[in-house]
């Protein structure tokens, strides 16, 4: 009986040890695959005559992105400084205007497409910062400078780094003298 108990103990220990090593190896292999995945370098992006966004890579590949459901166009297409991301605003019809409005900021990077909508207002200005590692954008209502909202986000994860909303005076206009973050000032100057 003692031999049987010893055998079961040794067998269980050995099985657990082998299982643990194989699990560790699998998780290490998948982590290494992600860590060493070569990022694409984008060299050109444009909207073709049929309304599709065409992105060209440094190794001569072409990536074609179609419009989202309800989307009527692409606008403000930009390649990040490091060449690893392409961003644009997605235009949607609006019953209150005669023109489509930019409701989403889209970022394409390493085969992944991210959608940034912030507070749900139109994205009127945006640009890459930190050599393409971050994106800053400004949103406000369709007509007028009410409800201005700024966000700074990490491109790789979409994580919110900072946000800013200016203070308003009694005339419902932003107060001129405010402690405006540098990333907001840069965004306002660039566009």
Extract the tokens encoding 27.
């998780």
What tens digit of pLDDT does each residue of 149-177 get?
A: 999 999 999 999 999 998 888 887 778 77
Kindly provide the b/e burial profile for residues 148-184, where b requires at least 16 CB atoms within 10 angstroms of the residue's own CB: bbbbbbebeeeeeeeebeeeeeeeeeeeeeeeeeebb
Tell me the percentage of the chain whose pLDDT exceeds 90: 62
- Expressed in angstroms, the distance from the first to the final Cα of the chain is 82
Quote the CA–CA distance of 45 and 57 in Å, as a whole number: 9
* Residue 22 and residue 81 in one domain: no
What mean pLDDT comes out for the span 16-39? 37
What tens digit of pLDDT does each residue of 95-120 get?
A: 989 999 999 999 999 889 999 999 99
Quote the CA–CA distance of 27 and 21 in Å, as a whole number: 10
Extract the tokens encoding 64.
């074609």
* Residue 25 and residue 100 in one domain: no
* Residue 102 and residue 169 in one domain: yes
* Residue 20 and residue 105 in one domain: no
Calculate the average pLDDT of the chain: 82
In this structure, are residues 111 and 158 in contact, taking their beta carbons and an 8 Å threshold? no
Q: How many domains does the structure of the chain reveal?
A: 2
What per-residue confidence (pLDDT) applies to 175?
A: 80
C-alpha torsion sign, points 89, 93, 94, 99: positive
What per-residue confidence (pLDDT) applies to 160?
A: 97
* Residue 74 and residue 12 in one domain: no
Q: Which residue is associated with the tokens 């108990």?
A: 5
* Residue 18 and residue 97 in one domain: no
What mean pLDDT comes out for the span 61-88? 96
State which residues form the domain around 25: 1-31
3-state secondary structure of 184: helix
Assigned domain for 5 exists = yes
What mean pLDDT comes out for the span 42-63? 96
3-state secondary structure of 154: strand
Assigned domain for 144 exists = yes
Assigned domain for 10 exists = yes
3-state secondary structure of 10: helix
What per-residue confidence (pLDDT) applies to 93?
A: 96
């Amino acid at each position: 009986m003692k031999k049987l108990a010893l055998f079961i103990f040794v067998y269980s220990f050995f099985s657990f040890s082998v299982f643990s090593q194989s699990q560790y190896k699998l998780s290490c292999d998948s982590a290494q695959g992600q860590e060493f995945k070569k990022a694409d370098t984008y060299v050109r992006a444009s909207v073709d005559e049929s309304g599709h966004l065409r992105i060209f890579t440094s190794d001569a590949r072409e990536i074609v992105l179609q419009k989202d459901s309800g989307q009527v166009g692409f606008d403000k297409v930009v390649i990040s400084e490091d060449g690893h991301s392409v961003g644009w605003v997605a235009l949607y019809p609006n019953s209150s205007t005669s023109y489509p409005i930019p409701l989403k900021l889209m970022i394409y990077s390493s085969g992944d497409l991210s959608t940034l909508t912030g507070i749900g207002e139109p994205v009127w200005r945006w640009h890459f910062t930190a050599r393409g590692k971050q994106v800053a954008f400004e949103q406000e209502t369709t007509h007028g400078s009410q409800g201005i909202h700024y966000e700074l986000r990490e491109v790789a994860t979409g994580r919110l780094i900072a946000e800013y909303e200016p203070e308003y005076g009694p005339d419902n206009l932003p107060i001129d003298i405010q402690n405006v973050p540098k990333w907001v000032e840069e965004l306002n100057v660039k566009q």
